[in-house]
Chain A
Amino acid sequence: MSEPILELRGINKSFGPVHVLHDIDLDVHPGEVTALVGDNGAGKSTLVKCIAGIHPTDSGEVLFNGEPVHIKGPRDAADLGIEVVYQDLALADNLDIVQNMFLGRERTKGGLLDETDMEQAARKTLASLSVRTVKSVRTQVSSLSGGQRQTVAIAKAVLWNSKVVLLDEPTAALGVAQTRQVLDLVRRLAEQGLGVVLISHNMNDVFEVADKIACLYLGRMAAVVGSKDVTHGQVVELITAGRSGDLGIARPEAATI
């Protein structure tokens, strides 16, 4: 197996008296989809925000490509090549696809926007992801469907030669066909050699695209298992009880705070 691109070692995070993350270890390998599952309040989104630099961690180490790094803000994460696609997609409705994909990082030539260059690059990226559902890259985002928007948001993350993409419930608000599109896209990201972390509540989605499943239970990493080695039921038990047979946290008492 390849070296992990992103390693978390003993991450702790508290909000005041509430200890949200306990000694989290997680490896993200390039070319793999790691699903991050857990019940509401298990700390999934907090963990993603810690990686993205939105929340500072209290203790623990983050290694990127084997090197220890200090992520102090979203900019640091972006500079390393870590991109996050948020649940409430961060797209501006009144701009078109190209404008959104380059938002905040516009390409300029002599101080002016280089529209043709950006349009070509955006199209290349979408084409490389085999996005077939968008008619034109100059379509306004307001006229796109939910699935198409999610696609654009993900493509935006890919545009920057990112190494790790974190997806926070990308299919939560989508219909069946649109979910299909997005899951295909997630798979393709991994095939391109990116490390993908997918947060999801939907077990079908998880088993369909994930190579590894990381189960959070009350802020602890209950187990990281290969998706082929476990059953649907085992994962649900890990999510709800923190253990399943010999998997997960050894004694349930240890998990209580």
Chain B
Amino acid sequence: MSSEEGSMTDTTETPAQDTPPQGAISDFGIDTTSQSTGEAVRDYWARVRGGELGSLPALLGLVVLLIVFSALSPTFFTLGNLANLLQQGASITIIAMGLVFVLLLGEIDLSAGTASGVTAAVMALHLINNGNLLGGMGDTVFYVFCGLLVLAIVLASIMKIWAGAALSAIALVIAAVGIPANAWLEMLLAVCVGAAIGSITGFLVAKVGIPSFVVTLALFLVWGGVVLQFIGDGGTLGLRDDTIFNVANGNLNFVGSWVLFVVAVGGYAAVVLTRHFSRLRRGLVAQPTSLVMAKIGALAVLAAVITYALSLNRAPSNLVVIEGVPYVVPLVLVLLVIGTFVLDRTSYGRHVYAVGGNKEAARRAGINVERIRMSVFVIASSAAAIGAIVYSSKVGSVDPNAGGGNTLLLSVGAAVIGGTSLFGGKGRLRDAVIGGAVLAIIQNGMGLLKQPAAVVFIVTGLVLLLAASVDALSRRRAATAAR
């Protein structure tokens, strides 16, 4: 946010003053001016050259992939497939959003995939047994399960992570009381179990001090075993419930789709403009109003086109009507907004970045580093549970391999491809969404091109490798630039 050409004004409290007191506090003079569009663009370009790429490479990749697959496959760029794409990518994206918090600290959560499998299995057991988890799990397993929930409550309380403790307590109550099945209750249970799992992981990493790689590698195996125990070898738990089915497969109706459009664009505009004009009013450096307006306008047009397209009938046959924005879109949007808000606008988020950037500095600044480190695992596992709800809903059942396979690797991949640094301290929540979209397009597009699984795996892996190289190289560039 700097430029040499801004006119200088007095820095303190009198931004409206146009006569520059030359040489006063000259070097901050530029901070008080509103930039011109050209300066803002040049400034952005300078930062990109300096190694702050953000999600730019992923966005470019996204565009390239869209063009390539549209050219190669006639079915790729159809409404039906694009809506399908959103639904396919949602679960990975949601798990990746949780992982961004962990990656911001330079830690890793390898157990997020199988942990999500555990939450899906608990959800399915509760639904199938009509709330009787004791019957569904058997005596021993049930008591161990409740014991672990109590442990999670205790651990979260020790570290004063009250949200984690409260969610674990809710899970314990739901499990112990045996309330009859209800789709919303099951989903709440899944998230609460996720928070409990995260409390245990986080405590082992933050307080006991085992490296997160080892803790989560061990728990990756443990939770994989737990899923198998819950479901039984070769079994499958079917989720026959309309509400759960609709999470990943349902759509908003026509009115709902446009209400979502108005709320999303209006909310974005309100937040951006309030902030913009508050900065202008207080004489702080701000982007040119025209550029801010252009951004909002571009987003509004894009959102309107997507909403319009998705509210058309996209059913392949005339027998059914499929229209409206899929439910997963508002779900991902809400999580994105809440998460971004927490990271950017609260002290907690600031502390997460600080601990990721320099743990010692954070400690000396009086930040409770252990608490921050534990809390991100609670967030990651809770988000993994929401991801589990979405993918179980998409498949309609939970099998012993739920959350196994490459669920986790794709989620980490999504965050990294989007621009989150594996070295910690750098990354935003929208990275996960962009990266998730890239991976979903690759998987979907390669499938349409009838490529064998082998090729899909190799291409996905290479894209991840490319993203990690971009991260490492841009870091090196940032380290050498501007010194």
Interface set of A (CB-CB < 8 Å, partner B): 74-75, 78, 86, 88-95, 99-100, 103-106, 108, 111-113, 116, 119-120, 123-124, 126-127, 130-139, 142-143, 145
16 contacts between A and B (CB under 8 A): A92-B358, A92-B361, A94-B356, A99-B354, A103-B367, A104-B354, A105-B365, A119-B31, A123-B31, A126-B28, A136-B2, A136-B285, A137-B28, A138-B285, A142-B479, A143-B478
CB distance from B92 to the nearest CB of A (A): 26
Contacts of A74 in B (CB 8 A): 364, 366
Contacts of A92 in B (CB 8 A): 353-354, 357-358, 361-362, 425
A126–B353 CA distance with the chains assembled, in angstroms: 23
* B199 located at the interface, meaning its Cβ lies under 8 Å from any Cβ of chain A in the complex: no
CB distance from A55 to the nearest CB of B (A): 15
A75–B367 CA distance with the chains assembled, in angstroms: 11
Contacts of B285 in A (CB 8 A): 136, 138
Residue of B nearest to A111 (CB): B346
Contact A134 B27 (CB under 8 A): yes
Contacts of A75 in B (CB 8 A): 366
Interface residues on B, range: 35 or more
Given the interface pairs A113-B346, A116-B279, A116-B282, the reply to whether A135 lies near B425 with Cβ below 8 Å is no
Contacts of A95 in B (CB 8 A): 350, 353-354, 357
Closest 7 CB pairs of A and B: A104-B365, A92-B357, A94-B357, A94-B425, A143-B482, A90-B361, A136-B2
Contacts of A100 in B (CB 8 A): 361
A126–B365 CA distance with the chains assembled, in angstroms: 19
Indicate which residue in A93, A132, A135 contacts B357 across the interface (CB closer than 8 Å).
Answer: A93
Contacts of A113 in B (CB 8 A): 344-347, 350
Given the interface pairs A74-B364, A123-B11, the reply to whether A116 lies near B350 with Cβ below 8 Å is no
Residue of A nearest to B368 (CB): A104
CB distance from A255 to the nearest CB of B (A): 34
CB distance from A143 to the nearest CB of B (A): 4
Residue of B nearest to A144 (CB): B482
Contacts of A124 in B (CB 8 A): 11-12
Contacts of B282 in A (CB 8 A): 116, 120
Contact B2 A132 (CB under 8 A): no
Residue of A nearest to B361 (CB): A90
A123–B24 CA distance with the chains assembled, in angstroms: 13
Mask for B330-355, Cβ within 8 A of A = 1, else 0? 00000000000000111100110110
CB distance from A168 to the nearest CB of B (A): 12
Residue of B nearest to A139 (CB): B2
Indicate which residue in A89, A104, A123, A142 contacts B366 across the interface (CB closer than 8 Å).
Answer: A104
* B139 located at the interface, meaning its Cβ lies under 8 Å from any Cβ of chain A in the complex: no
Further 16 A-B residue pairs, CB within 8 A, beyond A94-B358, A104-B365, A135-B30 = A74-B366, A92-B353, A93-B425, A94-B356, A103-B354, A103-B365, A104-B354, A104-B362, A113-B345, A123-B12, A123-B28, A124-B11, A126-B28, A133-B27, A135-B2, A137-B31
Choose among A91, A95, A134, A142 the residue with the greatest number of B CB atoms under 10 Å from its CB.
A142
* B25 located at the interface, meaning its Cβ lies under 8 Å from any Cβ of chain A in the complex: yes
Choose among B30, B284, B364, B425 the residue with the greatest number of A CB atoms under 10 Å from its CB.
B364
Contacts of A93 in B (CB 8 A): 357-358, 425
Mark out the residues of chain B between 1 and 39 whose CB falls within 8 Å of any chain A CB in the assembled complex.
1-2, 11-13, 25-28, 30-31
Contacts of B350 in A (CB 8 A): 95, 99, 103, 106, 113
Residue of A nearest to B481 (CB): A143
Contact A94 B30 (CB under 8 A): no
Contacts of B278 in A (CB 8 A): 116
Given the interface pairs A123-B11, A145-B483, the reply to whether A94 lies near B347 with Cβ below 8 Å is no
* B242 located at the interface, meaning its Cβ lies under 8 Å from any Cβ of chain A in the complex: no
* B50 located at the interface, meaning its Cβ lies under 8 Å from any Cβ of chain A in the complex: yes
* B241 located at the interface, meaning its Cβ lies under 8 Å from any Cβ of chain A in the complex: no
Contacts of B1 in A (CB 8 A): 136, 138
A180–B479 CA distance with the chains assembled, in angstroms: 25
Contacts of A105 in B (CB 8 A): 365-366
Contacts of B12 in A (CB 8 A): 123-124, 127
Indicate which residue in A90, A116, A131, A143 contacts B364 across the interface (CB closer than 8 Å).
Answer: A90
* B426 located at the interface, meaning its Cβ lies under 8 Å from any Cβ of chain A in the complex: yes
A119–B11 CA distance with the chains assembled, in angstroms: 11
Residue of A nearest to B421 (CB): A94
Indicate which residue in A91, A104, A127, A145 contacts B28 across the interface (CB closer than 8 Å).
Answer: A127
CB distance from B186 to the nearest CB of A (A): 32
A133–B26 CA distance with the chains assembled, in angstroms: 10
Residue of A nearest to B360 (CB): A90
Mark out the residues of chain B between 373 and 422 whose CB falls within 8 Å of any chain A CB in the assembled complex.
none
Residue of B nearest to A88 (CB): B360
A135–B46 CA distance with the chains assembled, in angstroms: 14
Residue of A nearest to B427 (CB): A94
Residue of B nearest to A141 (CB): B357
Choose among B284, B351, B426 the residue with the greatest number of A CB atoms under 10 Å from its CB.
B284
Given the interface pairs A136-B30, A136-B31, A143-B482, the reply to whether A108 lies near B358 with Cβ below 8 Å is no
Residue of A nearest to B483 (CB): A145
Contacts of A126 in B (CB 8 A): 28
A95–B104 CA distance with the chains assembled, in angstroms: 13
Contacts of B361 in A (CB 8 A): 89-92, 100, 103
Contact A106 B358 (CB under 8 A): no
Residue of B nearest to A130 (CB): B25
A110–B128 CA distance with the chains assembled, in angstroms: 44
Contacts of A132 in B (CB 8 A): 25-27
A88–B364 CA distance with the chains assembled, in angstroms: 11
Contact A91 B26 (CB under 8 A): no
Contacts of A119 in B (CB 8 A): 31, 284
Mark out the residues of chain B between 88 and 117 whose CB falls within 8 Å of any chain A CB in the assembled complex.
none
A142–B475 CA distance with the chains assembled, in angstroms: 11
CB distance from A111 to the nearest CB of B (A): 7
A124–B284 CA distance with the chains assembled, in angstroms: 12
Contact B284 A116 (CB under 8 A): yes
Contacts of A86 in B (CB 8 A): 364
CB distance from B346 to the nearest CB of A (A): 6
A148–B2 CA distance with the chains assembled, in angstroms: 16
Contact B347 A106 (CB under 8 A): yes
CB distance from B273 to the nearest CB of A (A): 14
CB distance from B380 to the nearest CB of A (A): 20
Residue of A nearest to B355 (CB): A92
A78–B366 CA distance with the chains assembled, in angstroms: 10
Mark out the residues of chain B between 431 and 465 whose CB falls within 8 Å of any chain A CB in the assembled complex.
none
A127–B354 CA distance with the chains assembled, in angstroms: 25
A93–B364 CA distance with the chains assembled, in angstroms: 15
Indicate which residue in A103, A112, A120 contacts B284 across the interface (CB closer than 8 Å).
Answer: A120
Choose among A86, A103, A112 the residue with the greatest number of B CB atoms under 10 Å from its CB.
A103
Residue of A nearest to B363 (CB): A90
